[in-house]
Each structure stands twice: as structure tokens, then as C-alpha cells.
A and B are shown apart, each in its own frame.
Chain A
Amino acid sequence: MVNLYQNIVDYLKNAPEVIQFLWALITTLILIICSLILYLKHSRSRLRIKERIQKVYQKKYESDLIEYLYAGNEDNEISVEQQQIVNYFKKCSTNRLKRKLIITTLLKLRNEISGETADAIQKLYYQTEMMNSAAAKLKHKKWNVVARAINELTQFEIKEVHDQIIQLINHPKREVRKEIQMYLVKLFHFEGLDFLNILTTPLSEWDQIQLLEILQKFDDQEIPDITNWLNSSNDSVAFFALKLAKIYNQFEAKDAIISLLYHPEKEMRIEAIGVLSHMGAIEAVAILKNNFDQLSLDEQIAFFKMMENMHEAHDEEFIIPFMNHVNFDIRVSAMKIVKAIEIKKPNAFKIIPSEKKYPENTALIKAS
């Protein structure tokens, strides 16, 4: 063995420098790989232990929760057993992992059931003061902690923190803003949209879609006055208000939408034309017709699309010259409008009685 070691040392000593370097490199790499394998093995076993501990705690919290739900008095007062569980949960919630597990357990059941059991779970959330700790996190420096706290408060439908949350509506982080918007709309429905009055940060297209999706689920579809939002200096808010006007047919806001036809942003003007067309606002046709030459090409195309549904017989004179317009969309729309006007005209199509006689037929009838 000693000889073998001596031989290796001699071989390396006498080997050229390149070979020596390569051997050193191989040895280092082997050492790195071995230590990485050991580290992976250690972290895997640590994760497994953590998972096992989590399972044990989760099972314990699940049975405690069920016990809490069934240990209540008939007179709605908290029983001794319930108080013990509340105290235990309160103690556990000081640990981050345990608090997370308790919250998961409560939500796992609350999301599946309704009625008095769901109310009892929410009551437990208050009693264990986890609601207070979530509310306290709203002032945390880290944005992800704030976002998670808002998400938790939304899931437990805690309305009391509304005033604290609304103050963060223009938070620099998009994720926090999104959570706030979800909180307001999920809990306060259309009234929650009041945040649009003070929103100075952009409301992304995706955020708008998500808000509309939530709003459509509510039974109460009474939408507040959207005029303020249409006149908002925040363009994304005005765009969102236009979507609301279209979906919920807000005819009361027609004048405010017409005023958007003079908005400095071209996209806004085009969107407004689309919404006015959807609402059948005939006043908009006259305004756009008068300013037609000042409109951009896209607006002109939108206007012609609008005219396809809102034309009148006297518009024909205005439309006919556009049948030879350089733009294909305008040309097609103009042709469609003229065709529709022509069809509606009285006696546009006449059945001309044929003067021609068919002597062959008469002859055949006579022969039969």
C-alpha cells in the first residue's frame, strides 16, 4: 500500500506540468461533486423531516379545529374547550411555520363550506388574534409580506382593515396593488371600485380583466356612477371605465364618453367610438361626421365600423365618395353601408312583370 502511494507520488512528481495540472483539476472536481452530493442528500432529508413535522402539525390542527367547531355552547358563548384551543392556536401562531399551517388548515375548510361553520372559522381567526398580526404586517417594510397579509385578509373576508389597506392603493409594487384591488372588489363588490378615484398608478390590462371577472360573479349588478372615472387623469382608469360602460350598458355616462372623443390619446378616442357604437349613441355620429377630416386613419376606420350599424338614409351622400377610398377597411365598410341603405329604400327592388308569352306551354295544356 505504501509502495503504491509512493509510486503515485513519484509518478506525479516526474510527470509533465500539464499532467500534474490535469490530475489536480480532476481531484478538485471529484471533491466538489462529492460535497454537492452530500449537501443534496442532507437537504433532501431535512426537507423530508420538515414535511413529516408539517404533516403531524397539520393533522393536530385539523382535529383541534374540528373539536373547536363542535365544542361550542348552545348559547353562543365560548366554552372551556374552545378557549383552550384558542389559546393553543394563539401560542402556536407566534411561530412562522406553525402560523402558516394553522392558516392553511382554516382556509382548507373555510373554502369548502358555507353557513355557520364558515362563520365559526372566521370567529376563530379573530379570537386567535391572527387577524391583528396580519393587519400589523400591512406596515411591514418588505412588499411581499404586505402582499401576503392582504391576501390572507381577503381570504378571511376581513372588512375592518379597509381604511388601512386603501392607503396603500398607490404602492410602488404592482403585486401589492393587485392584492389590494382584489381585496376591495371581492369584499366590497362595486363599491370597492371607489379606489379608482384615487388610483394614480397604471391599472394593467390583466388587472382590468381580473377585476371584471370578479365583478361578473356578483348577484348585485348595480354599478355606481362611472363619470368620474371616465374623466380620470389616469388613462388606464378611463379605459377601465369604458369597459364597464360597455359591459354594463351605462347610458347615463354617454355624455362623458362623447367627451372622450376629444381626448388627447388616440387609443382612448378609438375605444370611445367603439363603446358609443355599442350603446347606439346616435349623437356621436354627427360629431364624428363633422370632424371627419381631423380624425386619424384608425379613428376613421372605427367611425365607419360604427356607421355600419348606425347609418341613416341621408348618410348615403356622405358615404358614397368613400367607396373608392384608398383604405380597404373604409372601402368595404362604405360599400356595406350603401348596400344597406339601398335595400331599405322603398321600391329599391321591383318585380318587373314579364311580357313574354310561352306558346309552347299553352299548346301542351290544350293538348292534354
Chain B
Amino acid sequence: MSESRKILLAEDNSILSLLLKFKLEKAGYDLIIAENGKEAIEIIEKQKPEIILTDVMMPFVSGLEIISHVRNKLDLITPVIVFSSAGQEEMVLNAFNLGATDFMAKPFSPNELVIRIKRLLQ
């Protein structure tokens, strides 16, 4: 059922992306990686993922801009999980105001992420 479910990960940390790719593919999802916000928006428009995972701080286009684009321009209800680091509490609030579904503070547990994704896709 969940084998072909597409998930987009917008994250500039290459090794974290790689780890999550292994983890989520093992859990039966198809993970598409975008190294920056600009690339993420292009993928969202073309491939319409079922869930979006995005870091708040990213080159070119930030995670907040991605959420804004998804909710206001594309008018999509795709669940968005935001990753934030310590000291970005205000950004998380802004993300929720823009329409983020959930957030995870870094450092986070990959297992917990998988559980949250499963719950959101149920």
C-alpha cells in the first residue's frame, strides 16, 4: 500500500538526507531529495509528493517560503513537517502560522520521524 508513496525531503545536509532516504525507503516510502528550497518547489509542482519534510533554514528559498508556496500559491493540503534547530522557535511559530502540520526539533530521532509520517499518511 505505502510502497509507492512519495515523500519530498528538502534538506541541505547531504548525510542527513542520505540517512533518511535509507530509513524511509526501508519503511516502504519513495523519498525524493531536494538540496535547496528552489529545487523543492520545482519537485512539488512536478511530482506532487504526499508529504513534505523541510528544514527551516535552507539556501535560496527557506522552508517557510516552501510552506507559503504550497499553501497559498499551489493551494495544496499536503502535510508539511518542519525541522528546526535550537534557537529557531520563532520560525517554528511562523511555520505553523503559514500552515505547517507538524515540527521536529533537531537533533531528532529518525524512528520518531517514521512514526509521525505513518500517522500523517494514515
Contact = CB atoms under 8 A, between A and B. Distances in A.
Interface stretch (A111-119, A190-198, A254-262, A355-363): A111-119
Interface string B98-116: 0000000011111110000
Contacts, number: 49
Interface in B65-122: 106-112
B18 A113 contact: no
Given A66-B18, A66-B19, A108 B13 contact: yes
Interface in A90-138: 105, 108-118
Interface in B7-43: 13-16, 18-19, 22, 26
Contacts of A117: 19, 109-110
B107 A113 contact: yes
Contacts of A112: 13, 16, 106-108
Contact of A105 (B15, B22, B26, B106): B15
A113 B22 contact: no
A69 interface: yes
A11 B112 CA distance: 85
A113 B19 contact: yes
Q: Summarize A's interface: helix, strand, loop or mixed.
A: helix
A113 B13 contact: no
A63 interface: yes
A70 interface: yes
Interface residues of A, number: 19
A83 to B, nearest CB: 20
Nearest to B113: A113
Nearest to A217: B86
B15 A65 contact: yes
A62 interface: yes
Nearest to A110: B107
B107 A114 contact: yes
A239 to B, nearest CB: 27
A221 B22 CA distance: 39
14 contacts: A62-B15, A63-B18, A70-B26, A108-B13, A109-B13, A109-B16, A110-B107, A111-B107, A112-B106, A113-B16, A113-B19, A113-B107, A114-B107, A115-B110
Interface of A: 59, 62-63, 65-66, 69-70, 105, 108-118
Given A110-B107, A111-B106, A116-B111, 15 more contacts: A62-B14, A62-B15, A62-B18, A66-B18, A66-B19, A66-B22, A69-B19, A69-B22, A109-B15, A109-B19, A112-B107, A113-B109, A114-B109, A115-B112, A117-B110
